[in-house]
Amino acid sequence: MDCVIELKGVSKTFRDFWLRPTVKAVDGLDLAVARGEVFGLLGPNGSGKSTTIKMILGLIAPNAGTVRIFGLEPRTVAARAKIGYLPELSYLHPFLTATETLAYYAGLCGLDRATAKERTRQLLDMVGLAGVAGRAVGSFSKGMARRVALASALVGRPELLVMDEPTSGLDPVSTNEVKTLIHTLSRAGMTILMTSHLLADAEDVCSRVCILDGGRKAAEGKIGEIGGSLEQFFLSKVGEGRDFKVAEFLK
Amino acid sequence: MRRCRAIMRATALEMSSEPLGMLLTLCAVAAVTFAAAFHIHQFGEPSRMARDAGFSVILAGSSAYAVFCTIKAFRRELESGTLQMALAHPVSRTAFFVSKAAGSFFACCGFSVTVFGAAAVSAVGAEAGWAIAAPKGDISRIWGVSLALNAATMLLPLVAAAALNRFFRFRFAASATRIALACSVAGAAAAVALAQGGGLVPGALGLVRRMLPVAVLAAVPSAVFTAAAAAFAVKMRDGAAAGATGLLALAAVPAIGNYYLADALAKGGSLPWLYVLEAAVAAVPFVAGFLVLGSAFLKGKDLG
């Protein structure tokens, strides 16, 4: 298998100021994502999805195990030249306009001015923000900011797109557009790693999923190989004992 | 190099868009203008107070600008998550840190140039005021033209930036900061041209030229403070980083006497550029040290 992402025995424990362990976010995770796959990382809140993604991006260093992206250390510039990242929240400079934001990230990708300008125009057109290209992103709605962040992730024409909750904050029409975009990018040969709380989204776009629970891998497989719906499968793996005992509280 | 340029440009834009930076700049221009306008002591020289006020404001103001605006720029990157976005792109942590610190320093240089322009206007104005008052035996006052030019440097940016913001959606603080810089430089050129061309102050250009090395010397500590503030901001929160840089500034106070050689300009004297070069060279190890420290802090930091 031509692996784009390879994690072997990866663990991450966060520590406080005195280096005392506070939380074990990921525990001995093995994962392999092949070229061209749309891979879903699923799990309840606090299961280690975002930490795993940040280790893949080189933003967080694992305590144990190895992470390889295209066979390279994720912190190397060569590895990150092939990655596009859409975070869960749209982290954007509020004082920059949409055009300036894309030009900034194009600059970080090392694109020359002419290419950056052309690609900025194309991407703003693609995400439907050409009409507000000159407005500061600080004045954008959540959905518009999400579109700018998505365009920023694609500005370097990455081979691997890492999306943390890609449909978070989007209306149903925009959600559908993002799903269509994921399908289009996947058909064009891009590898996509995404997390989602919305299992229907994962079912619609992912070719394979991994379910995390408490930092460990609870299950992994192709959508078609999982018996029943993904929701039933998910609940059977991580749903037990998670009821809020509302009746007991209301007594 | 393109990556570093993109980071520097965005940082300089961010710092000039910062209302705190704009207020510091306009207050500095006001301090330089009014210290000279309401002078009591002349120390035997009409432009002495104007010059010294300008150098003091460059020294203190550029250091404050470097500390507060640099810390704000770095902390905002860390706390808002934009640093994660940037470092998910093909740019090394060291390149990002050094480029951002360089962008902060360039913005700080913009502040120093603005204040220097206003100080030059005030100094030329004081000489012109003396040339007008001395024959009649009056107490010299700053030249009205100079006051008008510096007042324009304070007010015109606000009015023009408001108009640009209202009609063309330009950023208010960034426009005001840039227009203040342009007004101050243009004001200095106009003051020199009017005073020297009108025969009022024959040595106006020479005076401004003599002021330049001292102004550069007074701005040198801001390079050290920018690098220090950047390094501390990666590791500490706003208040702690400002406190640590403040302690560093206290430690540097005795050395500031050596930097502060404005006295060399008294009675037509000048400061050799070699002194400025020596001061700049002396600052290099400190700047490099803090850049290395800050890069190491950022390299070891988990983001997220």
Is A246 in a helix, a strand, or coil? helix
Statement: residue B293 has pLDDT above 90: yes
The answer to whether position A246 is within a domain reads: no
Looking at the structure, do residues A134 and A156 belong to the same domain, yes or no? yes
Domain closes at, from A30, A50, A72: A72
In chain A, how many domains are there?
A: 2
Q: Could you report the per-residue pLDDT of B265-287, keeping only the tens digit for each?
A: 777 788 889 988 988 898 899 99
Looking at the structure, do residues A35 and A85 belong to the same domain, yes or no? no
- Determine the pLDDT at residue B253: 65
The answer to whether position A224 is within a domain reads: no
The answer to whether position A159 is within a domain reads: yes
In this structure, the number of other CB atoms found within 10 A of the CB of residue A82 comes to 17
Looking at the structure, do residues A68 and A86 belong to the same domain, yes or no? no
Count of helix runs (H) and strand runs (E) in chain A: 9, 9
Cβ-nearest to A91 among B9, B14, B81: B81
Per the CB < 8 A criterion, the answer to whether B216 and B113 are in contact is no
Q: Strand A208-213 vs strand A38-42: parallel, antiparallel, or unpaired?
A: parallel
Tell me which of A103-117, B33-47, B132-146 is least confident: B33-47
Among candidate residues B140, B107, B137, the one with its CA nearest the CA of residue B123: B140
The answer to whether position A189 is within a domain reads: no
Domain with residue A124: its CATH number is 3.40.50.300
Statement: residue B304 has pLDDT above 80: no
Question: Which residue of chain A has the CA closest to B16?
Answer: A95
- Determine the pLDDT at residue B184: 94
Give the residue numbers spanning the domain of A166.
Answer: 81-170
The answer to whether position A148 is within a domain reads: yes
Provide the whole-model pTM.
0.88
The answer to whether position A222 is within a domain reads: no
Q: Could you report the per-residue pLDDT of A112-141, keeping only the tens digit for each?
A: 889 989 999 999 988 888 888 888 888 888
CB contacts, 8 Å: A110 with chain B: 2-3, 90
The answer to whether position A94 is within a domain reads: yes
Domain closes at, from A150, A170, A190: A170
A93/B302 Cβ within 8 A: no
Statement: residue A226 has pLDDT above 70: no
Q: How confident is the model at residue B129 (pLDDT cuts 50, 70, 90)?
A: confident
Cβ-nearest to A80 among B9, B88, B169: B88
Q: Name the minimum distance, in Å, from the CA of B248 to any CA of chain A.
A: 24
Contact partners, residue B88, CB within 8 Å, separation at least 6 = A57, A58, A59, A80, A83, A84, A85, A162
Per the CB < 8 A criterion, the answer to whether A219 and A211 are in contact is yes
B10/A110 Cβ within 8 A: no
The answer to whether position A100 is within a domain reads: yes
For the residues of B70-84, what is the DSSP string, one character each? HHHHHHHHHHHSHHH
Statement: residue B256 has pLDDT above 70: no
Containing A40, the helix (H) or strand (E) segment is strand A38-42
Q: Name the minimum distance, in Å, from the CA of A165 to any CA of chain B.
A: 15
Distance of alpha carbon A181 from alpha carbon A89, whole angstroms: 19
Looking at the structure, do residues A93 and A120 belong to the same domain, yes or no? yes
Per the CB < 8 A criterion, the answer to whether A62 and A98 are in contact is no
Looking at the structure, do residues A68 and A107 belong to the same domain, yes or no? no
Looking at the structure, do residues A103 and A68 belong to the same domain, yes or no? no
Distance of alpha carbon A93 from alpha carbon A248, whole angstroms: 46
